[in-house]
Every structure is written in C-alpha cells, then in structure tokens.
A = this chain, B = another copy of it.
C-alpha cells in the first residue's frame, strides 16, 4: 500500500497524511488520530527507501567487526541495541577479514564513502588512526570507542585502562610481589599502550625497574594466555604475579599454572581485566579471579547514546568520556609466598 492510495482511503492528501504520521504540529489532533488508526488498521508503512532518499538520512550507524575481536564486540553491540531499541536506527555491521593495512583501509574507505550510514563507531583505535583522519575528512560523524592521538578533534568514550592497570599492579606490589608479568592486548592499539604505561608507572613509583622480558602482547585468547603464561612461569626467577588482559587470557593463564603444578592465588597471583560477559563469571572460576572490571555492554549502550547526540548536532569536541574501572579482589590474588619474590 502506497501513500497515495492510503491517503485516498482517508480522503486526505498525501501531504496531510505524511505530516500526521511524522507528528508535525500543523495537523489537527482529530485527523492525526484518524490517520494513525487507519495506518495500523490498513497496515500502511512508508517505504523506507523513499523516506531515506528524500530526507537524506539513512537511519543506520555503522560499526566494524574485526576478526579476532568478536567476543568483546558482541557485548558492545548488545549494549548499543539496548539504547537504540525504539529509535528508528539500525546497526550496520561490517565484518572485516584480516587484510593487510592498506587493503583494510580501502575497504573502510569504500564503506564510508558509500554513505550507507549516518555515523560510525570506530573501535580499537591506534595512536594515529587513519580511519579517524578519513572520517574527519569526509565529514562523517563518528565516535571513537577508545582513544587515539591525533590532531583532528573527535568524540570518544574510553575506560581508564592506564589507571586500572596501574592500580592492579600497585596492589600486587603492596602484597609484596616484585616480579610481576603482564600479558597485554595486541601491540600497537592505544589501549594496550595505555595499559603498558599504567604498568610501568606503578613499577617506577616504587623504584622498581621495568623488565621487558615480563611483558607480552597478543590478542585476547586463552591460547595466548596459556603460551605466554607458560613461558613466563618457566623463567627463573619465576614471576609471582601476573596481570592478564582479559578473561580469556586468564583462562589460559590458569591452565598454564595448573600444568606446571602451581596454585593460582598462592604460587602465582593473577588479576585480569573483566569486560563483564554474561557467559563467563570471575566468581565462578576456581579460584575466583580478581579483576579490574568495566562493562562492555554499558560502554556500547552509552556509545549509542553519544552517537545520537552527535547526530543531533552536539559538537564532537564536547563528547569525551573517561570511565573509571573497578578493582575487585577475589581469591586469585594473595601475598607473595615465603621464599618467592625478591
């Protein structure tokens, strides 16, 4: 059923009907009601493509899903959905395979230039992220989940990765640990750099020297956690504490410790970052896992909100949020055991 036809049914002009449905003020309340009722009764819905053509809006927010970051991504997306529920805005996901950087940028460029979305969310940015430069150049509104280091002004939402890791490390130091290893995220992305900094700063503040042999980088998988944890734990002197980048990493760390006959919480203290997945709970691990915690889902929800603000005209420079991170202590952390450590 088309607008014209529908309008004829009501003995009104398409103009009035259109206005009635989009809630313009210059249509009498009684007719608006009449139109609205008829719309449900006759099942009339404006053709979305026609609307989009004439309004110039697409009604969608774009987001890239990079291979290897799917776990966190799903939670984030879910949060976005929470906010967008009811708004007439879709989420357009572009899964992106592992290409080389140039190819990836081309793909991204095509995506943005095709104007299939009204705004973009960039995640896992790098310090000087080309994507940000491009979006800025093309005038496409965008929000960065995380931070970059760039001259262009941009809207962002990030968690305090630096502070979180600094606090976790400092806590371990307080417990008497001096050889503390860290399995961080992928090298090169800003949040990994921030975590590196937090870790180093904590050490330096206590007058300890940074030992590069105690830090590793990789994606958030149990595999990475297992491999690096093993290699750390086979060092001598053995580190007595370990900071892990994610829950998955921590699973690998637990396995590694177990495979070496070490008891987590006694022989080796572990703190991991927890993005609060509904399907994996730090409390249920054995032993329960001490974590720095910040909800990915909440970040997704808020990001959607911020994008909406951006779309309704709020300047990007006024959108900058840094979220604090909780430190939650459970059984996986304890004082350095006698004979270990220094």
Contact = CB atoms under 8 A, between A and B. Distances in A.
A96 B85 CA distance: 8
A156 interface: no
Contacts of A114: 45, 48
Interface in A69-94: 70-71, 73-75, 77-78, 80-82, 84-85, 90-94
The oligomer's copy count stands at: 2
Contact of A95 (B81, B226, B284): B81
Interface stretch (A13-21, A158-166, A215-223, A322-330): A215-223
Given A258-B286, A259-B286, A280-B222, A81 B53 contact: no
Interface residues on A, range: 35 or more
A59 B114 CA distance: 12
A221 B95 contact: no
A281 interface: yes
A97 interface: yes
16 contacts: A45-B113, A65-B77, A70-B77, A70-B279, A71-B74, A71-B279, A77-B95, A80-B95, A81-B95, A82-B97, A84-B95, A90-B116, A220-B279, A222-B281, A222-B285, A251-B251
